[in-house]
Amino acid sequence: MKVSYNWLAEYFDAPLPSPEEVGELLTFHAYELEGIEQVGNDYVIDVDILPNRSGDSLSHRGIARELATLLDCQLKHDPIRGAIEEMKKSNICSVEVVDTELCDRYTSAVIQGVSIGPSPDWLKKALETLGQRSINNVVDATNYVMLNMGQPLHAFDADKLAGDTKKILVRTAKDGEAITTLSEDTYTLTPETLLITDAVTDTPIAIAGVKGGKHADVDSNTTNIVLESAHFNPTSVRKTTQRIKLFTDASQRFQNNPSAELVGYALHDVVKLILEIAGGTLEGGSEVRGAVQGPEVVTVDLVHINGLLGTAITVEEVSDILERLGCIHDVSGEVFTVTPPFERRDIVIAEDVIEEIGRVYGYEHLEAKQLPEIEKKPEVHKGFYFADSVRNVLTEAGYSEVYGYTFRSKGVYEAINALASDKRFLRTNLSEGLNEYLEMNTHNAPLFGVDRIKIFEIGTVFTKEGEHISLALGVSGKKTDTILNDTKTLLERTLGVSINESPENNVLEINFTQLIDGLQEGERYEPFEKNFTMYTSYSPYPFITRDIAVWVPEGTTSESIKEIISAETGELMHSVRLFDEFQKEGRVSYAFRLVFQSMEKTLTDEEVNPIMDMVYKTLAEKSYEIR
Amino acid sequence: METQKGHKHILSQAIREITEIFTGMGFTFVSGPEMTNDHDNFEVLNFPDDHPARDMQDTFYLKGGGLLRTHMSALQVGHMRESEPPIRVFAPGKVYRNEATDATHEAQFYQVEGMCIDTDITLEHLKGTLETLLKKYFDDENIVTRFRPGYFPFVEPGVELDMKYKGKWIELLGAGMIHPMVLTNGGIDSSEYSGFAFGMGIERLVMIKHDVGDVRKFHDGDLRFVTQF
């Protein structure tokens, strides 16, 4: 949620610490911070409120209250504390709620004779600083109070409701019933959706807790309004938004179950603000109230607190923190009976209170403590033991390991919500993927200094029988069966087991889960070397290869020739590799493969040819014969 | 001719290193299925049905029921039921999130879950265990860590852990003290035992240690990446 620093500051007598310090306090004691941005003479602090605190903290008041706890001070005024004047019963608009499970509190107020117009500058600025659009004074007032208190509100044009006496009916939708919203989108609804309707004409005027309808919207000609402040069932609102895929500031708040106590305070404040900035007179209000949940009373003791946090906090310190949090509490010896403030619906069990104490006390006070020694010794994981061992054998034999993608275009198990149409299924084998990786890497074989690509993967596959671990080896080029069968023999010998599967299309795929079934793992995993290699990005551009063969006198090493070549080739050379060698009549022939590649562009023959000419020239000058 | 050894994928190497460190601290390597269900992945971990906490993890649901595990925490309760405290386990494995891929997001990635349950386990043990793990993995005695408040339904208190590495604070992982309801679901008496749990992205660790800028390179089968390590 985006909050204004200046708006928060209005809650305090003393000046607030700097925006950065406020951000830091919130980060280390309460929420996550997305960022701080200067907007005019204000700062917008973007606070990520997670679900546990979304019931109380999606509001300036909520975040100011949190700051007051952390700064150990009082709020100058708290809009959700104290008694509020009861409204006289409205003669114009009544309310009926059919199902109080879905709406346990609905209040309304009628204001007559408002003048719709632009909002005063302070209000426009407050909304626009937070990136909200100013619409008109009445609508802005409802948004302002929501951003301040966390209670969504709505204003209807009273004259667009039928009859001399109006009636609002809160009921679920009829199957196929449609509503057009303020933004002119039409939704066809199912009976699970809760609606606010005009009871006289049986017309929907809002999707409860989500969005207002076009039918009774406030426009420039509106003079009489009905204000709504209500509490809706969080699960019902959540299911509605998911069903119709409409997510609003209101639905975000309602689905996180703010306290139903906010309803009265918010209605009071929004009436007051509208009378101030849009004029008119309050005619009266209505209220339907079902069984509203009250706060939980939680018992927690000091041993439990310190036992979970690892701290040595005293009874007095706990008492002080609970006080700062606004929790009413009794202490009996070391046992605390805690009643959280009504808006903190997330504090339900002892551990919730312990978290509150821990974060206010400050996690920076925690030491890093090692676990005690225990008698129980760790066991070796059979699957990992053999996977690790097979990796050692295969890499020794020249195979490199790939980690492939689980999602493929064919399979047995299909994702309902796939990322792409060719990634709808879970793989049934590793072979298909491995063949693609073989082909892709074969193009780059010269870069790896190999004549053929040898790769393997160990991973989960999903077949009709369920999931199991598979091992697949792939080799590029011709006569791959021979190579794969040699490796198969190597694996059989190392593991002491026989492998039933045979190579097919350049790949040998083995049911690894089955293979190791009857085997006995060792007492410890095989040794390994720690890897600290830093990654370097590779060129995205194609490379060019050149082969060169040269006759040298017997006794001349290939290394010395390689050095001569390397000295002439410069930074465009990726690598040089000896790929052939034979002796004849007192001379040796060395054949090298040179690979050229640029980090900046696609190389052309025009760039490589002069380099090769220099190589030929230098070798010739040393009296070596180029073949 | 010049013949070459192959390369183990860096994720395999990292998992091997992590395994060594955890084993040294008395933790046992455990594993479980990638295809699981709502009950194991969410319900027993105190994610109520139709609760906004469900939005924190975009899930791949499978036709005919079931889902792909979104976190290695899906193993927690099953393991609690199979064993008795003291419990020290770690579980590296592949998890899935239904999110668009970019340089820092992948729909499939590896996580390692750590879980310790005993009498008198505190948040300070969590901090100590994670610091040891990180110091050894990064081979850097100067690493320090800090907690921030965090929220995951299956821990209470919940924390985020940052690590100061080469002079910079880096957000690393989520953790906390196992929620009493989760312990109860695992058949463990929460008035007698407490425990911590944490979950950490393995690619993320590797990216920091080896300076890899793009998470997609781990899973694209390209040997230009694999053979560097």
B31 burial (CB, 10 Å; 0-12 / 13-18 / 19+) is: middle
pLDDT score for B195: 98
Domain identity same for A348 and A410: no
CATH number at residue A67: 3.30.56.10
The verdict on residue A209 lying in a domain is: yes
- A144 with A256, same domain? yes
Closest CA to B116 of B87, B147, B138: B87
Tell me: do A249 and A198 sit in the same domain: yes
Q: Is A375 inside any structural domain?
A: no
Same domain, A207 and A252: yes
Same domain, A257 and A337: no
CB contact under 8 A, B29 and A384: yes
Name the pLDDT band for B3 (thresholds 50, 70, 90).
low
Alpha-carbon gap, residue A222 to A231, rounded angstroms: 26
End residue of a domain, out of A246, A269, A289: A289
Closest partner residue to B123 (CB to CB) among A30, A366, A536 is A366
Residue B178, min C-alpha distance to chain A (Å): 10
What is the H or E stretch that residue A353 is in? helix A350-361
- Residue A522 belongs to some domain of the structure: no
Tell me: do A509 and A401 sit in the same domain. yes
- Which chain B residues touch A351 with a CB distance below 8 Å? 156-157, 177, 179-180
The residue of chain B nearest to residue A353, with distances taken between CA atoms, is B157
Given CB atoms, is A100 within the 8 Å cutoff of chain B? Answer: no
Q: Give strand pairing partners of A38.
A: A43
Confidence of residue B74 (pLDDT cuts 50, 70, 90): very high
Domain annotation covers residue A531:
no
**Where residue A250 sits, what CATH number does that domain have?**
3.50.40.10
Q: Nearest chain B Cα to A53, which residue?
A: B151
A11 lies in the same domain as A144? no
Which of A403, A456, A473, A589 is the best mutation test for B, with the most CBs of B within 10 A? A403
| pLDDT of amino acid B1 | 43
* CATH code, domain with A463: 3.30.930.10
Restricting to A residues 480-539, those with a Cβ less than 8 Å away from any Cβ of B are 525, 528, 530-538
User: Of B67, B42, B192, B174, whose CA–CA distance to B117 is shortest?
Assistant: B192
Same domain, A236 and A105: yes
Task: For residue range A110-160, list pLDDT tens digits in order.
Answer: 999 999 999 999 999 999 999 999 999 999 999 999 999 999 999 999 999
pTM of the model: 0.92
Sheet with A211-212, edge to edge strand ranges: A93-97, A166-172, A194-198, A203-207, A211-212
Contact map slice: A 33-52 vs B, CB within 8 A: 50-52
Contact B125 A310 (CB under 8 A): yes
Q: Determine, for residues B62 and A413 on separate chains, whether the beta-carbon distance falls below 8 Å.
A: yes
Return the pLDDT at A293. 73
CATH of domain B10-224: 3.30.930.10
Condensed to tens digits (0 to 9), the pLDDT of residues B153-207 reads 999 999 999 999 999 999 999 999 999 999 999 999 999 999 999 999 999 999 9
Q: Does the beta-carbon distance from A355 to B157 stay under 8 Å? A: yes
| Number of separate helices (H) and strands (E) present in chain A | 19, 27
Are both A414 and A328 inside the same structural domain? no
Chain B partners within 8 Å of A256 (Cβ): 52
CB within 8 Å: B124 and A533: no
Put simply, the answer to whether B218 touches A403 (Cβ < 8 Å) is: yes
Q: Do A51 and B100 touch (CB under 8 A)?
A: no
**Residue B2: pLDDT over 60:** no
Mean pLDDT by 10 residues, chain A (627 residues): 97 97 97 96 96 96 98 96 94 95 96 98 97 97 98 98 96 96 95 96 97 96 98 96 95 95 97 98 95 84 97 97 97 97 95 98 97 93 97 96 96 93 95 96 87 95 97 94 96 95 96 95 94 92 90 88 85 87 89 90 89 89 85
pLDDT recorded at residue B133: 97
CB A565 within 8 A of CB A596: no
Q: Count up the domains in chain A and report the number.
A: 5
Choose from A28, A29, A363 for mutation: most chain B CBs within 10 A: A363
Across the strands, what pairs with A425? A408, A414
Rounded Cα gap, residues A37 and B59, in angstroms: 33
Task: Tell me whether residues A32 and B139 touch, CB distance under 8 A.
Answer: no
A398 touches chain B (CB under 8 A): yes
* Residue that finishes a domain, picked among A228, A254, A289: A289
The reported pLDDT for the residue numbered A37 is 97
Query: Is position A88 within any domain?
Result: no
For B210, the closest of A366, A436, A534 (CB atoms) is A534
Q: What is the model's pLDDT at position B73?
A: 94
Q: Which residues of A touch B172 (CB under 8 A)?
A: none
Instruction: Please state, in angstroms and rounded to a whole number, the distance separating the CA atoms of residues B45 and B52.
Output: 14
Domain boundary among A289, A307, A325: A289
- Facing residue for A363 by CB, picked from B23, B52, B159: B159
A-B CB pairs within 8 A amount to: 283
In a domain, A77, yes or no: no
Q: Do A378 and B124 touch (CB under 8 A)?
A: no
Q: Does any domain span residue A507?
A: yes
**Residues A116, A215: one domain?**
yes
Q: Which structural domain, as residue segments, surrounds residue A482?
A: 382-515
In chain B, what are the domain boundaries? 10-224
Of A377, A398, A579, the CB nearest to B5: A398
For A332, the token pair is 């009996």
Rounded CA separation B67/B57 (Å)? 12
Same domain, A223 and A160: yes
Do A284 and A412 sit in the same domain of this protein? no
Nearest alpha carbon to residue B15 among B224, B199, B164, B205: B205
- Following DSSP, what letter does each residue of A435-494 receive, concatenated? HHHHHHHHTTHHHHT-SS-EEEEEEEEEETTEEEEEEEEEE-SS-HHHHHHHHHHHHHHH
